[in-house]
């Protein structure tokens, strides 16, 4: 069953939180400015804070003015008029009934966005069900983290499934809303030159890097419980890997795309101890400024990893023998998310006096969205002693390639898809659980082998053993 109704009401749980302030309210305002929201759509914010409608509207105005670029604020007043507020303590049943009345009494199509702690998911869903807000005309979106392991993820999914069918559950991974991530699908399946080469016969290895320069910031308690593996690898990085490695779907429809991603996730080989490196940053310098170590920021000793590098294998016909190198960490030299596809060397070179370098495709996701393909080209000159060659990049900066197109926040696409009922860029239950199954096996290996994080200085690319992880295969990380 495909749920195709457009929501007339959008309820934002956690409406006074950081995500709402930085992403959700600015994204909705931008969509409204571009006239992409149904004129009848009403947005209801809810949280424990005791605010009036006017106080919440002032909060939203300040958020939009702070986080949305000037050129995209077109109709702030119109957007603010869509907003109302109703306080709800989700741990008690009181308040849900009045919220339901404000949302149309269950007679209006409703989209619900949960930006709350996972521990509040179950009571929230119970309250929605009891108030009549979980019927066939309602759909729900969940922010990560969806559990801390496979078992807790199943418990969350079971709780949601008790009130909402799978076709009405929208699990968010905001990376999937980024333009360049979506462009990866277009690059692979809309260009004849790539797909025939997209296999083990022509690709030597793949690298996926997600680097952060920040430390703990406001996420102290969450991060020390989660660590880099569960915070970044389990969701964002495995979703990127799945998009790189999946087979062509039959259509660009939600289930067709997600079916192929699940096949990749289930084909991931268990990672051995020698294919894993973990680290924890110590004091160092970022952009010339001294920063404290993780233990100093935390205020105590901890064995939580702030860096992970690993070598993954996909055991299927397309990718057998092709290593996927993944690394992510905090307090690295730069903020970057990129995918590097390294092609194999040419089988034979006719250029006896010139060294050829394998082609490399680099897909930049953040902070800049771009695609670069390195090709061998002749160096200008008479070449009396033989042709000279050099690797040169063909660069496509996405903002430059599409002049005039608005550079959107990832949540704009995801919120609009939630309102309209398009699940293509959302994560299905079996995807989440396949990801957790693989991650749990890695954590079990850590425990069995007694692995603990190695230290690295802030401002470096992690422990030296992470470099060795790739170099013993003759691979150099793309820094």
- Counted residue by residue, the chain has a size of 479
How far is 171 from 14, CA to CA, in rounded Å? 16
pLDDT at residue 94 in the model:
80
Q: Which residues are annotated as a binding site for substrate?
A: 174, 178, 212, 231, 330
pLDDT at residue 4 in the model:
67
Q: Which residues are annotated as a binding site?
A: 48, 89-90, 144, 174, 178, 212, 231, 330
Burial of 201 (0-12, 13-18, 19+ CB in 10 A): exposed
Question: Global pTM?
Answer: 0.92
Which of 3.20.80.10, 3.40.50.300, 3.30.360.10, 1.10.10.60 would CATH assign to domain 176-409+427-472? 3.30.360.10
pLDDT at residue 36 in the model:
93
How far is 211 from 338, CA to CA, in rounded Å? 9
Active site positions, annotated? 236
**Among candidate residues 59, 84, 64, 67, the one with its CA nearest the CA of residue 75:** 64
- Listed by start position, the domains of the chain span 9-172, 176-409+427-472
Along the chain (479 residues), what's the average pLDDT of each consecutive run of 10 residues? 75 94 94 92 94 95 88 81 93 86 84 89 92 92 88 94 95 87 88 92 97 84 88 94 95 92 97 95 92 91 95 97 97 95 92 86 88 87 78 75 64 94 93 96 93 94 95 92
Domain 9-172: give its CATH superfamily: NAD(P)-binding Rossmann-like Domain (3.40.50.720)
pLDDT at residue 399 in the model:
61
pLDDT at residue 75 in the model:
81
Burial of 463 (0-12, 13-18, 19+ CB in 10 A): buried
pLDDT at residue 398 in the model:
63
């Amino acid at each position: 069953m495909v749920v195709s109704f457009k929501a007339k009401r959008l309820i934002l749980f956690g409406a006074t939180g950081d995500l709402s302030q930085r992403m959700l309210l600015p994204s909705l305002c931008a969509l409204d400015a571009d006239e992409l929201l149904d004129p009848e759509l009403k947005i209801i914010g809810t949280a424990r804070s005791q605010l009036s409608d006017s106080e919440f509207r002032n909060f939203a105005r300040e958020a939009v003015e702070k986080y949305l670029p000037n050129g995209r604020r077109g109709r702030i007043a119109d957007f603010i008029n869509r907003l109302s507020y109703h306080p709800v303590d989700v741990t008690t049943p009181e308040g849900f009934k009045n919220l339901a009345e404000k949302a149309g009494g269950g007679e209006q199509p409703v989209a619900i966005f949960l930006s709350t702690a996972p521990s509040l998911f179950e009571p929230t869903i119970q309250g929605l069900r009891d108030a009549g807000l979980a019927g066939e005309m309602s759909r729900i979106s969940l922010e990560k983290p969806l559990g801390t392991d496979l078992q807790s993820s199943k418990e969350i999914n079971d709780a949601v499934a008790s009130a909402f069918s799978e076709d009405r559950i929208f699990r968010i991974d905001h990376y999937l809303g980024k333009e360049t991530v979506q462009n990866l699908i277009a690059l692979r399946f809309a260009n004849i030159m790539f797909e025939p080469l997209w296999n083990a016969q022509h690709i030597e290895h793949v690298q996926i890097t997600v680097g952060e320069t920040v430390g703990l910031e406001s996420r102290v308690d969450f991060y020390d419980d989660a660590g880099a593996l569960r915070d970044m690898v389990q969701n964002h990085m495995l979703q990127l890997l799945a998009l790189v490695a999946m087979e062509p779907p039959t259509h660009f429809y939600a289930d067709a795309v997600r079916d192929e991603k699940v096949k990749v996730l289930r084909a991931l080989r268990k990672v051995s101890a020698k294919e894993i490196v973990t680290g924890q940053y110590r004091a160092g310098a970022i952009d010339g400024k001294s920063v404290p170590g993780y233990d100093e920021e935390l205020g105590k000793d901890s064995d939580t990893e702030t860096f992970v590098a690993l070598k993954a294998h996909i055991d299927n016909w397309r990718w057998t023998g092709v290593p996927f190198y993944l690394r992510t960490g905090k307090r690295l030299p730069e903020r970057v998310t990129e995918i590097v596809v390294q092609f194999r060397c040419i089988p034979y070179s006719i250029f006896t006096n010139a060294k050829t370098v394998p082609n490399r495709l680099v897909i930049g996701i953040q902070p800049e969205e771009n695609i670069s393909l390195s090709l061998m080209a002749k160096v200008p000159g008479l070449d009396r002693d033989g042709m000279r060659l050099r690797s040169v990049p063909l660069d496509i900066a996405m903002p430059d390639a599409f002049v005039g197109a608005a550079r959107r926040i990832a949540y704009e696409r995801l919120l609009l898809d939630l309102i309209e009922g398009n699940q293509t860029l959302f994560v299905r239950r079996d995807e989440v659980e396949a990801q957790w199954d693989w991650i749990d096996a890695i954590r079990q290996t850590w425990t069995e082998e007694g692995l603990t994080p190695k230290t690295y200085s802030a401002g470096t690319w992690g422990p030296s053993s992470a470099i060795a992880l790739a170099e013993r295969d003759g691979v150099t990380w793309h820094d």
